[in-house]
Amino acid sequence: MVNEFTPKIVQVDEYRFKVPREGNMRVDGIIYANDKIIRDIKDDQSLQQVANVATLPGIVKASLAMPDIHEGYGFPIGGVAAFDETGVISPGGVGYDINCGVRVIRSNLRREEVSGLMRELVNTLFDNIPTGVGSHRKDLKLSIHELESLLKSGARWAVSKGYGWQKDIDHIEEGGCIKGADPAEVSQRALERGRAQVGTLGSGNHFVEVDLISEVYDEELAGGLGLEQGGIAIQVHTGSRGLGYQVCDDFIGVMIAAARKYGIELADRQLCCAPLDSEEGRRYFAAMACAANFAFANRQMITHWVRESFSSVLGKSPEKLGLDLIYDVCHNIAKFEDHMVNGRQKRLCIHRKGATRALPPGHPQTPEAYKTIGQPVLIPGDMGRNSYVLVGTEAAGAETFASSCHGAGRLMSRSRASKTVGGKNIVKAMQDLGVIVKASGWRTLAEEIPEAYKDVTEVVDVVHNAGIARKVVQLKPLGVIKG
């Protein structure tokens, strides 16, 4: 049963809008946006979804949405919601691509050192990193036993197998491993889908991108991250592939039955959920953690092949090239964290769906390397426009359960984007913008044209000006591989 009211919007200030509590809503909705973004999101169901999330049991403070908000399954993409011990856990609050996330790798390289090598770099990355639907490495298919070890340990498993450096672990959210993962809760179908897809990029908006650090907004913070203007960085954006999708799909039916069993009235069937302390809730978390750990391992292995590719083209070791991991963040996850609520610290289950953790300086969970500056917040754009590195703030800790946006956010569906392209030569169009692009198929490029997305600069400016993250550097794409 969908809420029988149209959500109202009240502007709080230049970058905050409120959906006042009414009907079955237990809390207000708060949307971080500007006037243009608010107008755009009225074209889909995302405002209604913010209000629907606010009806769930145990929700704390507010149903939140970031400026990259758009309609999703149950929760809006860009949605953040926290639940106390009386609350629920919902697959719709995590999404199908569990722990879709991004990492940024720095380098000692300058633009002039790679400008004549960009096509070779892109081709080498494309050859070394499997991309696209159904992609897999012919030389790597794990046994079920090995896969179960990976699902328990995440990026730590990958490093133990030689994919990367031990110090990488200290620069990954949760140390690259969500605790509580139990492979026994992952279906055989999910395991089979995952076995051949470890270390693959997948399709859609996933990518590996070589970037120029084109602008520095805060030199001290940038120095703390090892970034400087004119330098080269690399982004890796992918998730848990078919395994994560299957985990979500498997538990939708479980959660629909659980909501009935525990008498949870749903504003939308897609919000199906179970109490946090229920058997179904614990089972979903254990399976979700496995998928999240798969994604951590996936990005770790791709990082290893990024380092090998750069070493091959530049003729220097990854260490000499300074290919150090800055940070790796989750975009689709539910995690238990401690946050202040009404002056008291509470243990909460934070759902971030298309949202990034943004811990402030000094927070106990902020990585040691960034204790004085705040956790890096990594915001990729589209393949033709800029990306950003920010850091978390005290305001994010106080207002958003230390959360920020995760990207540009779609304006067009994939089918509409493909129709918009027509017969346009996308590779040439990107080359005219100074970006070398290689993909496994035309359709992916058509679906991912820059016009399909909001302007990420506008999205990032909202979170920066609202104070829930602080801009550090801008990244300009030079070369991209996509599925």
Domains, the chain, with CATH or none:
10-482 (3.90.1860.10)
pLDDT at 385 (0 to 100) = 79
pLDDT tens, position by position, 129-172: 988 665 555 567 789 999 999 999 999 999 999 999 999 999 99
The total of other beta-carbon atoms located within 10 Å of residue 419's CB is: 11
* Mean pLDDT score across all residues of the chain: 92
Q: Which residues are designated catalytic?
A: 406
Pairing, β 470-482 against β 436-439: parallel
**Tokens linked to 178:** 């969500």
DSSP 7-73: PP-EEEETTEEEE---TT-SSEEEEE--HHHHHHHTTSSHHHHHHHHTTSTTB-SEEEEEEEEE--S
Q: Which of 378, 377, 374, 355 is nearest to 365 (CA)?
A: 374
Q: Which of 375, 400, 384, 349 is nearest to 475 (CA)?
A: 384
Contact 437, 426 (CB under 8 A): yes
**Tokens linked to 297:** 């391992």
The alpha carbons of the chain give a radius of gyration, in whole angstroms, of 21
Average pLDDT over residues 186-190: 97
Contact 387, 475 (CB under 8 A): yes
Stretch among 207-221, 299-313, 383-397 having the lowest mean pLDDT: 383-397
> Coil, helix or strand for 404?
strand
Q: Which of 361, 355, 112, 356 is nearest to 224 (CA)?
A: 361
Burial of 133 per CB tally in 10 Å (0-12, 13-18, 19+): middle
pLDDT tens, position by position, 28-69: 999 999 999 999 888 889 999 999 999 999 999 999 999 999
Give the distance, in angstroms, between the CA of residue 379 and the centroid of all CA atoms in the same chain.
9
Identify the band that residue 1 occupies on the pLDDT scale cut at 50, 70 and 90: very low
